[in-house]
Chains A and B, each alone.
Chain A
Amino acid sequence: MFDSQSLRIIIKLLFIIQLLTAGLVYAEAKQTVNIAYLAQEQKAPPPLSNLDPFIENKGVLGAELAIGDNNTTGQFTGQKFVLKKFIVPIGGNVADVFNKDISEKFQFVVTTLPAEQMTSIADLPAAQQMVLFDAFTRDDALRNEQCRKNVLHMLPSRAMRADALAQYMMKKRWTEWFLVIGPNPEDRLFADAVRRAAKRFGMKIVEEKTWEHTYDARRTAQSDVAVFTQVDDYDVLVVADEQGVFGEYLDYRTWYPRPVIGTQGLIATSWHRTHEQWGAVQIQNRFKEQTGRWMEEQDYAAYLAVRAIGEATTRTKSNELKPVRDYLLSEQFALQGYKGNPLSFRSWNGQLRQPILLAAPRSLVAVAPIEGFLHPKTELDTLGYDQSESTCK
């Protein structure tokens, strides 16, 4: 038996030996697939509490893990994957960086950019000869009337998230909702998605209020929340507070003892640290070992984007735009995403169809689509805008 030290040395030695004798075993790298990663540094928001430190590098670490996975496959298929990172500083011009360093040099670009920046990049002439993998936005407009043909969306939209929550609430028979909306524009977008989901699943929003109080919990949460939540009785409080400026203070402080769900409490997310089914524990471990922190949603999105490129280029044996793009949007494309179902893209709006995790801070509560919600093609399409509802033209 080896101890871990000598085992590590042996692994290294074996690896070196294999490198030396690689000719027989591995295919020679004949094809290079270049991937650009484009993001802008984000300003740290004011801290709500000292519990969760601000994470600067969400996204890029997922892309780095995936490029390693792609290259492990590539050593057997003769493909080499190269990830070039472009992180624009705060205040820098993303379009300038794109025009100078990315246009005409890359065909596959992963972006961790807010909606407006992402769409302005997607509309640049050079971007028409690319596939952009949006690993950041959750806007339904970008999947509908403002959709771009050259963009694939890796994260679930707000409508998909709200539908996932609604399915769970329907299963629990929490049919009367109290909708609490935060002060930011994103909160209003999520509230729209919640209203849509309520209508879709026959639930009732019995009360709706906008939070306009201060955010310092130490001073006001105790009194403010109790007063704020004195409304007619309801089954569940649905909160729309994407930046987390007050939502965490609702639980245990409401007038009635009712659960909190939405952007805080029970949340709908594409990835969560409590998730360990379907092989997820392996990627959680691999990510943590490589980066020293938990995998966040944007890391997962960037991971999937780079893996999707790997999968499509391996299957098509091509590094060219058209065959790879066609394969990504074809019925053959099936990406392993550690969530039980194979992931694929909705051909009508470029949205990655995927199960959505419903997670409490320390336990995974359910995975949507919830059993019993049926669809003629795939139950994953019970979440978000289905083909017949889509306004993406």
Chain B
Amino acid sequence: MKKNFLMLFLAMASIGSVQAETVFVTLEKDNALAVVDPMEGKLIKTVPVGQRPRGIAISPDNNYLYIATSDDDTIKIVDANTLAVLGQLPSGEDPETFALNPAGDRLYVSNEDDSLVTVIDTASKKAVKQIQVGVEPEGITVSPDNRWVVSASETTNMLHWIDTKSMAITDNTLVDPRPRAVNFTADSQQLWATSEMAGTLTILDANTKQAIKTISFEIAGVTKDKIQPVGVVIDKDRNRGYVALGPANRVAVVNAKTFEVERYLLVGQRVWNLAFSPDQKRLYSTNGTSNDISIIDLENQKVTKSVGVGLYPWGVAVKP
């Protein structure tokens, strides 16, 4: 009996370790959150979450999801286990993208219409500061060492470096037209920034705030103006970075040491945002107009599956 129980426990534990990972996808036009089991490659369920959900992030303790519901003018706090809405944050108007700091106590929101970054204290659920940035701020990220917040303004074509201590801009870097997404390497030494209209990726030194390298993408059979880089992520060992190329329907694999483009992986249509699995063996992409996500096996560098999730998948977050 005892042995059986132990067996059962072990079996459950092993199932648990395989099934534990959950992928959350915001569905901009379904006003809902899709919950996907990536190992099974199945949509588990879809839950209503508010009007026009876009940006999504998970708290460092994996207990809370933060979801920008743009047309509700708020960021919802959702229990990552029960998916119950627990509360909301004063994001300012039309929130789209935001970033959590590594401790999870500060959330930085881009307010596109007002050229502002709003800083929110997640514990008190209060806005503590607003910082004037360029026109139409969109991409935003916090360095893993919590030193910098970088906000990209789409129309000003700039990266604004905000010191997390003084909460003020200390540097501005001009980049190619319409910067969309920004992300630091795990060691906080580099910032990778995509420029949608120029079709480029710029890699910057976080110390000098200057570009080290600007990469253009070229795909046979795809015209230049279809290549519109959006989401960007870099693996924790800084071996490879991955760039979602929007209507080019591909994810570019960039060697993070040589800055060569190694290959292009064909995913769904209008690929927007990317997230790693916790073990970084897989990459998930949201494909806006084909209404699915792609699952990419990073060991073999192959797209293994696409999972239909609902209308206009936008953001993606993964819970271990």
Contact = CB atoms under 8 A, between A and B. Distances in A.
A69 B115 CA distance: 10
B288 to A, nearest CB: 11
Contact of B177 (A11, A279, A311): A311
Interface residue tally on B, bucketed by range: 35 or more
Interface string B123-161: 001110111101110000000000000000011111010
Interface stretch (B30-38, B166-174, B237-245, B272-280): B166-174
A150 interface: no
A334 B127 contact: no
Interface string B187-199: 0000000001111
Contact of A72 (B135, B176, B177, B199): B135
A380 B154 contact: no
Given A334-B198, A342-B197, A73 B134 contact: yes
Interface string A4-29: 00010011001100100100110100
B224 interface: yes
A185 B45 CA distance: 60
B157 A73 contact: yes
A77 interface: yes
Given A15-B132, A286-B113, A341 B225 contact: yes
B97 to A, nearest CB: 12
B233 to A, nearest CB: 22
A113 B303 CA distance: 54
Contacts of A379: 223, 225
A19 B131 CA distance: 12
Given A341-B225, A342-B177, A2 B135 contact: no
A285 B155 CA distance: 15
B116 interface: yes
Interface residue tally on A, bucketed by range: 35 or more
Contacts of A11: 114, 116, 130
**5 cross-chain pairs, A with B, having the tightest CB-CB distances, nearest first:** A342-B197, A73-B156, A76-B172, A1-B90, A341-B225
A72 B134 contact: yes
16 contacts: A2-B127, A10-B130, A11-B116, A14-B130, A14-B132, A15-B132, A18-B168, A21-B168, A73-B158, A76-B158, A285-B94, A286-B113, A336-B154, A340-B228, A377-B223, A379-B223
B229 interface: no
Contacts of B223: 375, 377-379
B135 A73 contact: yes
